[in-house]
Amino acid sequence: MISSASEIQDSAEKSRKFRNIVGILASEAVRSNDPWYLEEAIKTAELVTDDPSKAYVEIIRAMAKIGMNRIDEETLKEGVRITGRIDNNLDLSVALHELVVAFAKIGIDRKDEKLFSYSLDLSEKIPLNTYRSSAFRNIARLLAPANPKRALELLGSAIELIEKSKDAEPVFLASAFCDIASLLSLLNDGRSYGFIKRAITLADGIADEFEKSAVLLKIVETERAIGTKQKDEGLLKEAVVLSGRISKEYYKTLAVDAVKVRDS
């Protein structure tokens, strides 16, 4: 693949081809658990001239998954070093988010407070509040079974960060509110209902029907899950009503199926 890409004359097309190869190698590294593919992906990323940061994000995602699967701190630390090659806040936020959650999971599984604290310190380097909030939510979900009090503290930090992200896309915010609602319900915190209502309000203001349908599906799934857990018939009925407001067939079918799961 690499030799074939090298023969491409157009520099932009050649760069895109190399970036695609990086993605293939990174995926194969996760599938096979073979470090050779990661090494080749890193070498190939050095050939990407057009937006190389995207290539490094693919590599770091793979490193995060492999690090968690193999409980391999060194692979994760190498991922942290590679983040130095990323040149924009969005890609850096995505990459660090993956690594933070991976470090936290190993720390929680091992009951290694030092490693867990490192994951929280690393989260401070995530440039965008939306991704730092997402990292805290993911860590809170990992903590919830064994340490609900600490999980709720982290979720509180996640909520503070998302409240500072008013300029984020409504689709992203609505999804975040659903995620927060699910976690609050998991932790038996009644504030979950307020975040569902905020997600619905955001959905009402989305003009694009595909985006609105995707958000409404997320809300329906969240209401069904929380309603089932809390035995809240009102919330379950509202999920059915909202599923009827989804206009795009693909999302409507998924919503109907989600509602049927509860009834079956």
Q: How do the domains of the chain map onto residue ranges?
A: 168-264
Quote the pTM value: 0.91
CA distances from 155 to 27, 77, 192, 255 (A): 31, 25, 12, 27
Give 244's contacts (C-beta < 8 A, 6+ positions apart): none
Q: What is the pLDDT of residues 184-215, one digit of tens each?
A: 999 999 999 999 999 999 999 999 999 999 99
Contact between 158 and 126 under an 8 Å Cβ cutoff? The reply is: no
* 172 closest CA partner among 151, 196, 203: 203
User: What is the full per-residue pLDDT of the chain (264 aa) written as tens digits?
Assistant: 666 666 575 678 888 899 999 999 999 999 998 889 999 999 999 999 889 999 999 999 999 999 999 999 999 999 999 999 999 999 999 999 999 999 999 999 999 999 999 999 999 999 999 999 999 999 999 999 999 999 999 999 999 999 998 789 999 999 999 999 999 999 999 999 999 999 999 999 999 999 999 999 999 999 999 999 999 999 999 999 999 999 999 999 999 888 875 554
| CA dihedral of 21, 23, 27, 28, whole degrees rounded to 10 | 10
Contact between 47 and 19 under an 8 Å Cβ cutoff? The reply is: no
